[in-house]
Amino acid sequence: MRILGIDPGIAIVGFGFVDKQGSKIVPVQYGSIQTEATTAPETRLLQVFEAAEELLDRYKPDAMAVEKLFFNRNVTTAFSVGQARGVTILAAAKRGISIAEYTPMQVKQAVVGYGKAEKKQVQEMVRIFLKLKEVPKPDDVADALAVAICHAHSSGLNDKLNGVSRI
């Protein structure tokens, strides 16, 4: 199963494709979609959408996992990040790709084993899980890979809970 993990943002969208092969998780491709702050918001959203479409068409994931938004301070940032998150979800939905959402706590629990883990701990576990030489940069990329790892760990359990059997 190929999974695309997304860490949404308007300036930077982290993405990470992993393949779940039995109990192994293998990195396929990872990076970021970046937009310029001086560009009009609607143009930035279009850039994110088109880049997401290109990635989906190129790497053909079976599922997409997205981090749920949690903001307690800057409402303006929350709206723009939510819009960017929406266009990535739309790109996947147009292709019939299943979409799962995870809270930051769920991602940390799945990757580190502790829901209140520090960001550096999550990033280091991503590096170890995927046998990478270094933590992917920017941080959004490591976060996206963490979301994909979370889904890889959770999808088998979710399938069993939903009565689905994959052979």
Distance from the Cα of residue 2 to its chain's centroid = 12
d(CA 83, CA 152) in angstroms, rounded, equals 25
Q: For the stretch 5-37, what's the b/e string if a residue is b when 16 or more beta carbons lie within 10 angstroms of its beta carbon?
A: bbbbbbbbbbbbbbbbeeeebebeebbbbbbee
d(CA 80, CA 25) in angstroms, rounded, equals 32
Q: 147: buried, middle or exposed (CB in 10 Å: 19+, 13-18, 0-12)?
A: buried
139 in active site: no
Q: Out of 36, 54, 62, 140, which one is annotated catalytic?
A: 140
124 in active site: no
Q: Out of 54, 67, 134, 159, which one is annotated catalytic?
A: 67
50 in active site: no
d(CA 79, CA 130) in angstroms, rounded, equals 32
Task: Characterize the bridge pairing of strands 12-21 and 2-7.
Answer: antiparallel
Q: Out of 7, 50, 57, 62, which one is annotated catalytic?
A: 7
Kindly list the catalytic residues: 7, 67, 140
